[in-house]
A and B are shown apart, each in its own frame.
Chain A
Amino acid sequence: MNESVNDIVNSEYKYGFVTDIESDAVPRGLTEDTIRLISKKKNEPSFMLEWRLKAFHHWQTLKDEPTWQNFSYPPIDYQNIIYYSAPKKKPTLNSLDEVDKELLDTYEKLGISITEQKRMSGVAVDAIFDSVSVATTFSEQLSKLGIVFCSFSEAVQKHPELIKKYLGSVVPHTDNFFAALNAAVFSDGSFCFIPKGVKCPMELSTYFRINAAETGQFERTLIVAEEGATVSYLEGCTAPIRDTNQLHAAVVELIALDDAQIKYSTVQNWYAGDKEGRGGIYNFVTKRGKCAGKNSRISWTQVETGSAITWKYPSVVLLGDNSVGEFYSVAVVNNRQIADTGTKMLHIGKNTKSTIISKGISAGRGENTYRGLVKVSPGASNARSYTQCDSMLLGNRCSANTFPYIEVRNNSSSVEHEASTSKIGEDQLFYCKQRGIDTENAISMIVNGFAKEVFKNLPMEFAVEAQKLLGVSLEGSVG
């Protein structure tokens, strides 16, 4: 990203500051009225309110959160969350000059420049502060190509037909507990539409920031790439240090039509809680892409270093013939962090292909779980799937688990899964030290090398940031 990003990360969590901004929040708790209020505040058309209410009523019938995961967490009191919080001064933006100065400073501090003058070159940014999008850059230039890149709220106003068509088409509100909750209360997010034949000329990026206390963040991202379109999208996130847990339950939907390509990269660095596990974000996210068209490709790359608990499985439904799904992941846990993450590749079309590369790094008392599903339907002739899943352990109080589920119902397909777990190489450490490199740097170097296969799928600027994050996340993990 820009320069300030490069020097962000050299100590503990640097994004832990709180911005003092007046916010406009709905009362704590969740009832039908809360949803009506959110919808009204956002001035939504009636189809949106109906959609939300349907999701809410479904959510009410779901008694419990899922229980199959490999960890437990204190019960979440859904009536004690503030479901909508927005910076008060947020006007309908005509120009970025109207954005609150405090807010701009916040993003400046995070290393994300959204002011006109200092925009990072070649990356269009949509910044989400607590529940709402505060600024989207480059919209105009992009719109000349027919690309829509704006906040979800704006898209609801300006492109209701697209929203109507695609919203919930990949992750229906019935999908799971958190998806239902998100559908009912989501406040904002990014929307991105690349029309037929257009190759998006720059990286699109959303930067998420939770600021207010006791709010949940429920955003929704929807990306549609029409026939032959391509887009690369980046997502970054941070939150202040607070000693209570905060819920982040986002939904991301990707749709790729014939010959379209979507590359979605995440560097997740929500506040992870302190050494004893106090505070931190519960990052319970549903991400799914649909390769709806033939020859389409969806690629997820994620670097997960933050959050107290990360629980997500960016997935690809491979519907179109010859479509390709990819998942590249690095997940680091330190101290008391928990990550239960992986992917689902659902092969439905013929000649579909999936590749899964997962690198888990556990330190401190962290618990790292890879959980993945590869499913080949009877119609998915010649499907191919390859999974490589490696875990590295630093220290003897952490754990690494690997739970792949493989279900195959087509005999012309081939599915391969390989996994390994081992300690960081003693010989490698000694070799580094013999060349004068101290333990901490040696570990960071070896771990980065271990994760290289994933990093190389990130856009350059992100890769640099990710590498540094990795080093920072592991600080103090040995000794």
Chain B
Amino acid sequence: MAEQTKTSEEHYIASYHNRRSNGGKNAPEWLRLLQDEAIERFQSLGFPTVKHEEWQFTNIAPFLKTALAPSTPAAANVRREILEEFLVHSDAPVIVLVDGYFEEALSSVPDSTGIRVQRYDAVSAQQPSEQTLSALAEISSASQKNPFSALSLALTQNVIMIDVPEGAQVSQPVHVLHLSTQTGKEAAMVSSPTLLVHAGKESSLLLLEVFTGAADADYGVVSAAGVVIQEGATVDHVRVQREGAKAFHFGTLAVRQERKSRYTAFSLAMGGSIARTDVTIAIDGEDCETMLDGLYISAGEQLVDHHTFIDHRYPNCSSREIFKGIVTGKSRAVFNGKIYVHHEAQGTDSKQTNKNLLLSNEATVDTKPQLEIFADDVKCTHGATVGGLDPAGLFYLKSRAIDEEAARDLLTLGFAGEVTAFIRDESIRHLIDALIVKQLQTMVAHTALPEIVH
């Protein structure tokens, strides 16, 4: 917006250097080096166009036109009540980031939770732990190919690290809430939170990560999360993306699993005008289990895009991926799921499914499940469907005296409920179900929806 002559890349690179010469110069040296490297990588990659195979269906031109400015610490006070909607219960451990900045007043992680939380930024000039570096390495590696991952790292305000010590069993769901508040009176803002998770050997963690923001503000979130799960550890990771309707969301999630570990993820995406999530799961040891599920709901002129990549590098691991989409209005949903089985990964068992409910004649679904297999002793399948509501189901409900609209709504709700059933923690599942009902109620449904039951 501001500088017509600059390319979008130049705009963000200039913002980076600008910040560096101001407050950013106080950041610890290791962080500055990391960010310098990231901005260079961003510079060499540049923003993608639709000619790029991975961005074929996702035109980011509206984002490029908006030239967002890196966010500054929020001036306004955020009341805790607005967070309640996303809490499993009101005294659950919670880490709040407002516009990418850690918000001490709203956060509370009692020692009894069993995790260590660290923060790295210009204020707290800490040296990184080994765990931090290993989780950061995952984001770095994602940023080799994805310019948004690189940009996120370069622009990040705060790096938040959740360290689960060896053997710790964290039974309380740990909440990480990313809140965007800025309405952008002068220029719209972008925040770039970085979340790191390191689950030590034989530990377990329940994590609920939420992205949300002002309903009608122009803003952007270019986030990144790096997760390392050590031998025998379990991480259950539920992500909710309910950005405001005009927001841009580009999220990177890079996970590495060591042997015998288990990662269960559920992703609910329903906000943003352009929302793209890139998930990479590197299976880096034998006997791992991976479950990556999700639901996306899009309406209006939204564009929701998920790119997932499960990289089977070791023998005898299993992965299961189920993504479902409810696509309506003039929106576009993109799903691209790749399963890659290396020559060494004998005994891989992998199953991927993508099902789309297309509810409007002006909406578009682009789905591209992919299998790339270089080992022979494997069992891999994928399936994809796109279609309207099942006529047989509709007929059945109608034959039980339920009218057309209600029948449609019920089937749509059931379609969503089928995938949330995979969320293992009951309290989180309830919360997610409620968020879905609320969203469908405002965007899709014609009748009053009941609860989702399992």
Contact = CB atoms under 8 A, between A and B. Distances in A.
B53 interface: yes
Interface string B358-400: 1111111111111111111111111111111000000000000
Nearest to A410: B361
Given A402-B371, A415-B386, A415-B387, A422 B356 contact: no
A415 B364 CA distance: 13
A244 interface: no
Contacts of B71: none
Contacts of B116: none
Contacts of A393: 373, 375-376, 378
A378 interface: yes
A398 B377 CA distance: 12
Given A406-B386, A414-B387, A415-B385, A421 B373 contact: yes
Given A400-B371, A411-B361, A416-B383, 15 more contacts: A378-B362, A391-B371, A397-B343, A401-B370, A401-B373, A402-B370, A403-B368, A406-B386, A407-B365, A408-B387, A411-B360, A414-B387, A415-B386, A415-B387, A416-B384
A403 B362 contact: no
Contacts of B360: 411
Contact of B376 (A411, A420, A423): A423
Residue among B346, B360, B373, B381 facing the most chain A CB atoms (10 A cut-off): B373
Could you tell me the dominant secondary structure of chain A's interface residues?
strand
Could you tell me the dominant secondary structure of chain B's interface residues?
strand
B366 A407 contact: yes
Q: Which 8 A-B pairs have the closest CB atoms?
A: A414-B387, A393-B376, A408-B386, A402-B371, A411-B358, A420-B381, A417-B384, A396-B376
A238 to B, nearest CB: 30
Residue among B343, B364, B384 facing the most chain A CB atoms (10 A cut-off): B384
A391 B374 CA distance: 12
A399 B368 CA distance: 19
A68 B368 contact: no
Interface string A421-463: 1110000000000000000000000000000000000000000
Contact of B388 (A391, A401, A411): A411
Given A414-B388, A417-B384, A419-B383, A399 B372 contact: yes
A359 to B, nearest CB: 15
Nearest to A368: B373
Interface string B331-366: 000000000000100100000000010111111111
Nearest to A401: B372
Interface string A125-148: 000000000000000000000000
B384 A394 contact: no
Contacts of A402: 369-371, 382
Interface in B230-268: none
A404 interface: yes
Interface of B: 53, 57, 343, 346, 356, 358-388
A279 interface: no
A402 to B, nearest CB: 4
Interface in A361-405: 376, 378, 391, 393-405
A254 B116 CA distance: 67
A159 interface: no
A407 B361 CA distance: 13
Contacts of B371: 391, 400-402, 419, 421
Contact of A423 (B343, B369, B374, B378): B378
A414 B384 CA distance: 11
A411 B380 contact: no
A400 B376 CA distance: 9
A422 to B, nearest CB: 5
A342 B385 CA distance: 18
Nearest to A405: B368
B378 A407 contact: no
A403 B378 CA distance: 18
A411 B363 CA distance: 8
Nearest to A406: B367
Residue among A406, A415, A421 facing the most chain B CB atoms (10 A cut-off): A421
Nearest to B370: A403
Given A393-B373, A400-B371, A408 B364 contact: yes
Nearest to B381: A420
28 contacts: A376-B386, A378-B362, A393-B376, A395-B376, A396-B375, A400-B371, A403-B368, A403-B370, A404-B370, A405-B368, A406-B367, A406-B368, A407-B364, A410-B358, A411-B388, A412-B388, A414-B388, A416-B385, A417-B382, A417-B385, A418-B383, A420-B380, A421-B371, A421-B379, A422-B379, A422-B380, A423-B377, A423-B378
